Structure 1
Amino acid sequence: MFVRTAGDRDLAAIRALLVETWHATYDGIYGAAKVTEITDEWHSIASLKARLTKPVSEFLVADDGKRIGGVAFAESIDSGKQVVLKQLYVLPDLQGRGIGGMLLDEVIESFPEARAIRLEVEEQNTRAIAFYEANGFVRSSDVGEQASGKPMLVYRRPLVG
């Protein structure tokens, strides 16, 4: 797998990846119907397309030349001092192979001015929490947005400039 910037031609594959990973990750937490509702809204082609031109952001895919195995999206806030990792997903059958780490490293490298990276994660998503903690993230006392109807855990990692 190699990591590159996402493009228009990737949007259908990114949507398929997000739908698959969301169902694998969240059906047991939210129920399949709610996951379908969320993915239809948040991961529509139009929603994904808007990310391609969003200022101070990075939209990445992990690609092996045959399929997209992972996706990440992050944006810079606070005049570039902080990065917010909005998404990092790897296909279920490819998890545990270093793809998430490659995407995370590229996100961090894409924002050289940043001093910290922040993310929100569903507290029942124990695999993601273990991944982030293994990659130097520490849980904050902050509570994240409740877009899913549940409070999210907030994790931060300082970045060396």
Structure 2
Amino acid sequence: MSHHVRPMTSDDIPSVQEVAVRSWKDTYEGIIPEASQERFLQAAYSTERMELRLERSRLFVAEEEGRVVGFISTTNVNEEGKAMLGAIYLLPEVQGNGIGTKLLDAAISALSELQELYVEVEKDNRSGKAFYDAKGFTFVREYDDPIDGHVLKTVEMVLEVKQNSGASASVDH
């Protein structure tokens, strides 16, 4: 099945909200209490917050047969060539098909001055950590991250990016 990655528009907000909710439930079941998940998702993925993100960050969606099945969100690159990968989520049923890699490649290519891409991943999120490990992200630090009265162990990782003079980016492994 072919997957198409493109910049997100405001029309995609409801689909992205659905991907976020379904992916979170799948990823964090047994890690974050459900009530905490609900409160976080309502705050982080409200339509108002999503519209702000569209203005201030870079978002791409992955489509399969016209349906949004995943998305990625990054900050813009700062003066030091650094950016944060804020979110990369896929519907559970499409994971493992290379869509996450396509989204990551699109985001990196769009960040022309990027040298280091940082991500924070929950320590117990094994599939997330495995994905970042496979893409060449390396460990920076681990810290406690309180979310709604529940303390998560968060791991910060970084990807060193080598930009070509051309339009595409290559990732050094």
Q: TM-score scaled by structure 2?
A: 0.86
SS at match of 2:111: coil
Q: Give the Cα–Cα distance (whole angstroms) in 2 for the partners of residues 18 and 25 of structure 1.
A: 10
2:21 to 1, 19, 25: 19
RMSD: 1.6
After superposing the two structures, state which structure 1 stretch, 62-71 or 93-102, moved more.
Answer: 62-71
- Counterpart in the other structure of 1:37: 39
Contact 1:80 1:111 in 2 (8 A): no
Q: Give the Cα–Cα distance (whole angstroms) in 2 for the partners of residues 116 and 130 of structure 1.
A: 19
CA drift at 1:150: 2.3
Higher strand share: 2
* Deviations 1:102-158 (CA, angstroms, capped at 9, x unpaired): 000011101121111110000000000000000010111354754464241000010
The reply to whether residue 2 of structure 1 matches residue 11 of structure 2 is no
Distance 1:48 1:144, change over 3 A: farther
Larger radius of gyration: 2
Q: Give the Cα–Cα distance (whole angstroms) in 2 for the partners of residues 145 and 59 of structure 1.
A: 24
Distance 1:39 1:25, change over 3 A: same
Q: Give the Cα–Cα distance (whole angstroms) in 1 for the partners of residues 52 and 144 of structure 2.
A: 23
Distance 1:159 1:146, change over 3 A: farther
Q: Give the Cα–Cα distance (whole angstroms) in 2 for the partners of residues 34 and 147 of structure 1.
A: 7
- Counterpart in the other structure of 2:112: 112
| Seq. identity, % | 26
Distance 1:114 1:144, change over 3 A: farther
Q: Give the Cα–Cα distance (whole angstroms) in 2 for the partners of residues 143 and 77 of structure 1.
A: 24
- Counterpart in the other structure of 1:67: 67
1:53 to 48, 52, 55: 55
Q: Give the Cα–Cα distance (whole angstroms) in 1 for the partners of residues 141 and 159 of structure 2.
A: 13
Q: Give the Cα–Cα distance (whole angstroms) in 2 for the partners of residues 150 and 108 of structure 1.
A: 27
Q: Give the Cα–Cα distance (whole angstroms) in 2 for the partners of residues 136 and 9 of structure 1.
A: 33
Contact 2:5 2:60 in 1 (8 A): yes
SS at match of 1:128: helix
Q: Give the Cα–Cα distance (whole angstroms) in 1 for the partners of residues 49 and 32 of structure 2.
A: 21
1:84 maps to a residue whose letter is M
Contact 1:70 1:89 in 2 (8 A): yes
* Deviations 1:58-78 (CA, angstroms, capped at 9, x unpaired): 111001243111110001243
Q: Give the Cα–Cα distance (whole angstroms) in 2 for the partners of residues 101 and 26 of structure 1.
A: 21
Paired residues, number: 159
Q: Give the Cα–Cα distance (whole angstroms) in 2 for the partners of residues 62 and 80 of structure 1.
A: 29
2:94 maps to a residue whose letter is L
Q: Give the Cα–Cα distance (whole angstroms) in 2 for the partners of residues 87 and 130 of structure 1.
A: 15
